[in-house]
Amino acid sequence: MRRPIRLLATGVVTIALAATAASAGAAPSAAPRGPKLQSSAEVAASKQTYGVTASRAAKLKSYAPTANFTATWKRSDALKVSMDSTNTTPIIPENFPVISNKVWQWDTWPLTGMNTKPITYKGWHVIMSLVAPRTIPYGDRHWVARIGYYYSRDGHNWKYGGQLMDEARGIGCMEWAGTAIKTGKNTVRQIYTTVGAKRGGSTCRTTPPFDVKQRLAISKGKIHADSKGVWFTGFTSHKIIAQPDGKFYQTQAQGIAPYDYAFRDPFMFRNPKDKKVYAVFEGNTGGVTGSHRCSSRDLGNLPPGHTVDPESTKFTGNIGLMVATNSALTKWKLLPPLLSANCVNRQTERPHVVIKNGLYYLFTISHKFTYAPGVTGPDGVYGFVGSSLRSDYQPMNGSGLVLGNPPEAPEQNYSHEVLPNLMVQSFIDQVPTANGPRFGGTLAPTLQLGIDGANSYLTRILPYGYIPAMAGN
């Protein structure tokens, strides 16, 4: 049972839940009705930034997926980032429930079909997550991250099943985020980020500095299920399918600490327009850190008096694209980035695509601390809309911000994924308390978006970790 939410005078929504009921996890028989926060008409007067209309978005210039055109998240658009009741994540109480006491859980993705829709297998909902033992400090989890899996009868009450792949057979030292797709009767292909290289072919560094070499890999296994649960076999062979080229995507050698070098988080899907299989991923603009020069395409129409700090040239996040060139999905070709955030932000993590009403929505997540000097925004999910996979993407809501953490809890949620039904799942990072932060490492309440062209609205609050399938399989 959920108690009603309450709307604070500041316009920030607080989720008020009974800890015992939430922990028990009463299964919703259907998508919970939830309270309606505000309609688009009700917030039209107060919403400070607006994206293009649906009709204009449909007319945005379209390019072939292989074309050498990259849209830009302009600095002038990022300056418009502001928060209101339509894009502020509700406050999570400090007594939030935890799915598993065995592992920290963060970046999460459901088992899907090639159309990106979450599916069930023999009646079971299945999700993958990055996991690490709760016996280690929360801040150290990235360096021992593995892909784990969970299963549920209702898409809400999850049971941890263990690690998806045998780490002894892996090709890297860490496993970071990716996509799990059912491609046959019970065949699952996991595309993911393999991080680091085993020393001497078998061991990994256990103390800093850790090896953060990032490559994209794929492995194939089988899913099984009975009345008691779900398990996997296989995933014993791993193949590197992409590495940064130094031209479009920065290599590890070109990166200079402490600025991000990223080549990770592949999201795989079939493009309905040409029926080919693509993957978007996080990258950085090719070249040595600091060698990029902020162009007019990067900056846009800046207001009088705005200066661009020279350090901004080191902030060069982008959203990459690659295409599969064989049916086994073991051979891929790198393509130019879909979107760059040069001189705006150095991280465009976990990019993903939602195709709705003929429009392509390109989402990514980012942090406040990864913005370039002179621009800022909250930890959260950002979005862009175009008329095709490669398009002159325009920022949603005029700035790109779709959902951001409330000022009272700036590190509350992260790693959002917008699903095809516009539900947004994420994990709880840390919630402030009187005694210091309580670390989460568990799934946050799912949120429901409404979208009208490039405008988005937070409309409903759903239960913790509610990731229902959209189809059976």
For 131-179, give the secondary structure using H, E and C.
EEECCCCHHHHHHHCEEEEEEECCCCCCEEEEECCCHHHCCCCEEEEEE
* Greater model confidence, 31 or 464: 464
Domain 6-472 class?
A: mainly beta
pLDDT tens digits along 403-455? 999 999 999 999 999 999 999 999 999 999 999 999 999 999 999 999 999 99
Percent of the chain residues topping a pLDDT of 70: 89
Cα–Cα distance between 433 and 439 in angstroms, integer? 10
Confidence band, pLDDT 50/70/90 cuts, at residue 37: very low
CB 259 within 8 A of CB 252: no
Give dist(CA 443, CA 394) in Å, integer.
Answer: 30
**For 354-373, how does the pLDDT look when each residue is reduced to its tens digit (9 = 90+)?**
999 999 999 999 999 999 99
Q: Within a 10 A sphere around the Cβ of 326, how many other Cβ atoms?
A: 9
With a cut of 60, say whether residue 7 has pLDDT above it. Answer: no
Tokens 């309905």 found at:
272
Q: Is the pLDDT of residue 161 over 50?
A: yes
Q: According to the model, what pLDDT value does residue 299 have?
A: 98
- Give phi and psi for 310, each to the nearest 5: -55, -25
Q: 150-159: per-residue pLDDT in tens? A: 999 999 999 9
> Looking at residue 462, what is its pLDDT?
97
Residue type present at position 377: G
User: Which tops the pLDDT comparison, 37 or 471?
Assistant: 471
DSSP 77-141: HHTT----TTTBPPBPPTT---S-SSEEEEEEEEEE-TTS-BEEETTEEEEEEEEEETTS-GGGG
Query: Maximum CA pair distance of the chain?
Result: 66
Mean pLDDT, range 249-255, rounded to an integer = 96
User: For the chain, percent helix, then strand, then coil, each to nearest 5?
Assistant: 10, 45, 50
* Low-confidence winner among 123-137, 148-162, 247-261, 415-429 (lowest mean pLDDT): 247-261
Mean pLDDT of 162-187: 94
H helices of 291-444, where? 296-299
Whether the pLDDT of residue 2 is over 60: the answer is: no
**CA 321 vs CA 75, 334, 335, 348: distances in Å:** 22, 6, 5, 13
Spatial separation of the C-alpha atoms in residues 260 and 348, rounded to whole Å: 10
pLDDT above 70 for 13 = no
* Peptide bond before residue 35 is cis, with ω within 30 degrees of 0: no
Reported as a single tens digit per residue, the pLDDT across 193-221 is: 999 987 666 678 778 888 899 999 999 99
- Looking at residue 49, its pLDDT comes to 56
- 279-324 pLDDT tens trace: 999 999 999 999 999 999 999 999 999 999 999 999 999 999 999 9
* C-alpha radius of gyration, the chain, whole number: 21
pLDDT at 92 over 50: yes
**Which region among 3-12, 28-37, 378-387, 402-411 has the lowest average model confidence (pLDDT)?**
3-12
- What is the arithmetic mean of pLDDT over 325-351? 98
Query: Could you give the residue numbers annotated as active site?
Result: 107, 349
pLDDT the model gives residue 115: 97
Distance CA 159, CA 169 (A): 25
pLDDT at 40: 42
d(CA 141, CA 129) in angstroms, rounded, equals 13
Q: Give pLDDT tens digits for 225-251.
A: 999 999 999 999 999 999 999 999 999
**Span 167-191, average pLDDT:** 95
